[in-house]
Amino acid sequence: MAGAEGIYGDLELSYPESDRLPYVLVNMVGSVDGRSSVGGKASGIGSRADREAMRALRSRVDAVMVGAGTLRAEKLNLGLDDPDARQPLAVVVAGEGDVPITERLVGLQRRVIVAAPEGSRRTPGSDGVPGAPLTVLETPRSGDGRADLRWLLGVLKSQHAVDRLLVEGGPTLNRSLIDEGLAQEVFLTISPKLLLGPESSILSGNQGGDQDEPPAEPRDLKLLSVHSAGDELFLRYRLRRHP
Amino acid sequence: MAGAEGIYGDLELSYPESDRLPYVLVNMVGSVDGRSSVGGKASGIGSRADREAMRALRSRVDAVMVGAGTLRAEKLNLGLDDPDARQPLAVVVAGEGDVPITERLVGLQRRVIVAAPEGSRRTPGSDGVPGAPLTVLETPRSGDGRADLRWLLGVLKSQHAVDRLLVEGGPTLNRSLIDEGLAQEVFLTISPKLLLGPESSILSGNQGGDQDEPPAEPRDLKLLSVHSAGDELFLRYRLRRHP
């Protein structure tokens, strides 16, 4: 087990396996009892080591993606702290609700891409962020009416040179990408807590088993690495292919 | 990180800290996304290494406890395979439902203790298990009408010499013991899977946020050890005292 120094500092990522889609890493933080948030905010869980690991992952990718709900929950910086670093693109996947880019996206960004299903309510707050050009992508709708993620990933690759994509939640977006077979790796930080409450699970946005959600096939994982920092654990898994 | 051989084979447990209560270990198995069961059965998750780790834990304790719901879900052997070993007591915590001891409890047992709240429906299937004396304990009811666990643990210690108790679920019993401050350690096996379904969380029996459940205080943990076997992880945590 590697120690606290430089978690993911020497991370080597595979080359993209597809000519048409990015290589997708899903990064999550959860408690020992598999819960994802404190009062709806994931930032209450992770430590400084977790934030450092997150920034190491971001430095390896071309774009960082979150769902609009995650942005609505708290202020986010999807970039790197180093002003000389090549910033990843910031991609926000919207549904029907607000996308408060201007209010909630902070820090340095090279470009902000908002993807929303065609015909959805126009996104207020989309004046963008100072110094970062804004691109709005109207996506086709998938079967459940949400943004077609496969289409979106294809456009990110073909039009925005995104070979590697880091997804940072929320739980619904993470799960959709995994369900649709679009994610290749899962990074999980286990915070040394039992949250115990009715907080949502790390891989679904509902507070307890949305009965409308179609049942998903369980997926097998290969454990790639284990790091620790203090009482916190950093796990890296590869998703095995569907049988 | 220790390897596959002898997970918990050299485990050293603390001495009981209380004259009146056993030292309580909670053992759980969950998926990477914090879910506890496949089709209601925990046995679908754990591997052979997990079962070996479980038996190593059992060999260190005086009694093994499960909730009756866990017994109703599948056949269970709460003992050790070695016929010459000193078998732990088997303790089943009942509610209002059936306690199918005779049908579901298999293997070697030194003694079976069924604890049910006073006035609850008489437990059918309680003819016991061949070769294992049966004790039925009527417990006081706690505030929510369930068996008073603090009372039960006290009786196990004072009348049955239980200094160390291993609790193996289900999620509701595990959580109750933690909520009430009766558990000292948590052992978590992380199965290399994403279950993704509406399966219950590893620390509450409901399929998604029982709104009647009182909110619990989050608890902080200290990471004591990390073992791995193949893609499976074995984590041991100490519950920190309430602040």
Top-ranked range on mean pLDDT: pick from A99-113, A180-194, B46-60:
A180-194
Instruction: Determine whether the interchain pair A228/B232 forms a contact, defined as Cβ–Cβ distance below 8 Å.
Output: no
Q: Which of B34, B215, B216 sits opposite A201 (nearest CB)?
A: B34
Question: Minimum mean pLDDT among A82-96, A160-174, B34-48: which range?
Answer: B34-48
Q: State the amino acid at position B125 in one-letter form.
A: G
Residue B18 contacts by C-beta under 8 Å, 6 or more apart in sequence? none
Interface size, chain A vs chain B, as Cβ–Cβ contacts under 8 Å: 144
Mean pLDDT of B114-134: 76
- Quick check: A213 contacting B, CB < 8 Å? yes
CA–CA separation, B236 vs B219, rounded Å? 15
CB-based contact B95:B147 (threshold 8 Å)? yes
CB-based contact A71:A100 (threshold 8 Å)? yes
Chain B hits for A198, CB-CB cut-off 8 Å, are 209-211, 213, 215
Instruction: Determine whether the interchain pair B220/A186 forms a contact, defined as Cβ–Cβ distance below 8 Å.
Output: no
- Quick check: B221 contacting A, CB < 8 Å? yes
Q: Which of B30, B197, B223 sits opposite A216 (nearest CB)?
A: B197
Q: What is the pLDDT of residue B199?
A: 66
Pick B222 or B41 by higher pLDDT: B222
Q: What is the pLDDT of residue B122?
A: 58
Instruction: Determine whether the interchain pair B196/A216 forms a contact, defined as Cβ–Cβ distance below 8 Å.
Output: yes
Q: What is the pLDDT of residue B208?
A: 42
**Per-residue pLDDT band at A212 (split at 50, 70, 90):** low
Q: How far is A16 from chain B (nearest CA, A)?
A: 22
Q: What is the pLDDT of residue A148?
A: 97
Residue B98 scores a pLDDT above 50: yes
Instruction: Determine whether the interchain pair A178/B195 forms a contact, defined as Cβ–Cβ distance below 8 Å.
Output: no
Neighbours of A152 (CB within 10 A): 22
Q: What is the pLDDT of residue B186?
A: 97
Top-ranked range on mean pLDDT: pick from A71-75, B1-5, B35-39, B120-124:
A71-75
Q: Residues 193-212, chain B: which have Cβ within 8 Å of A?
A: 193-198, 201-204, 206-211
Mean predicted lDDT score pLDDT of chain A:
85
Pick A14 or B21 by higher pLDDT: B21
Q: How far is CA B113 from CA A240, B47, B138, B147, in A?
A: 43, 28, 11, 13
Edge-first strand order for the sheet with B232-239 is A193-194, B219-229, B232-239, B185-191, B23-31, B164-167, B63-67, B89-93, B112-117, B134-139
- ipTM score here? 0.88
Instruction: Determine whether the interchain pair B220/A195 forms a contact, defined as Cβ–Cβ distance below 8 Å.
Output: no
Question: Minimum mean pLDDT among A119-133, B87-101, B172-186, B216-230: which range?
Answer: A119-133
Chain A hits for B235, CB-CB cut-off 8 Å, are 32, 190, 233
Chain B hits for A216, CB-CB cut-off 8 Å, are 196-197
Instruction: Determine whether the interchain pair A33/B34 forms a contact, defined as Cβ–Cβ distance below 8 Å.
Output: yes
CA–CA separation, B242 vs B182, rounded Å? 11
**Per-residue pLDDT band at A108 (split at 50, 70, 90):** confident
Model confidence over A137-172: pLDDT tens digits? 999 999 888 999 999 999 999 999 999 999 998 888
Mean pLDDT of B133-146: 90
Q: Residues 41-80, chain A: which have Cβ within 8 Å of B?
A: none
Mean pLDDT of A14-35: 89
Tell me, what DSSP letter sits at residue A35? B
How much of chain A exceeds pLDDT 70, in percent?
83
Instruction: Determine whether the interchain pair B33/A209 forms a contact, defined as Cβ–Cβ distance below 8 Å.
Output: no
Q: How far is A183 from chain B (nearest CA, A)?
A: 12
Q: What is the pLDDT of residue A147?
A: 94
CB-based contact A164:A61 (threshold 8 Å)? yes
Mean pLDDT of A185-209: 76
CA–CA separation, A9 vs A60, rounded Å? 10
Q: What is the pLDDT of residue A6?
A: 76
- Quick check: A4 contacting B, CB < 8 Å? no
Residue A129 scores a pLDDT above 80: no
Task: Tell me which of B29, B188, B196, B211 to substitute to probe the interface with A (most A C-beta atoms closer than 10 Å).
Answer: B196
Q: What is the pLDDT of residue B203?
A: 80
**Per-residue pLDDT band at B39 (split at 50, 70, 90):** low
Instruction: Determine whether the interchain pair A35/B237 forms a contact, defined as Cβ–Cβ distance below 8 Å.
Output: no
Q: How far is B202 from chain A (nearest CA, A)?
A: 6
Pick B214 or B37 by higher pLDDT: B37
Residue B3 scores a pLDDT above 70: no
Mean pLDDT of B103-110: 83
Q: What is the pLDDT of residue B243?
A: 53
Q: What is the pLDDT of residue A207?
A: 37
Chain A hits for B237, CB-CB cut-off 8 Å, are 32, 192, 231
Q: What is the pLDDT of residue A107?
A: 79
The H or E element spanning position B31 is strand B23-31
Pick B207 or A87 by higher pLDDT: A87
Q: What is the pLDDT of residue A201?
A: 77
- Quick check: A109 contacting B, CB < 8 Å? no
Model confidence over B27-36: pLDDT tens digits? 999 999 988 8
Q: What is the pLDDT of residue A131?
A: 77
Mean predicted lDDT score pLDDT of chain B:
85
Residue A87 scores a pLDDT above 60: yes
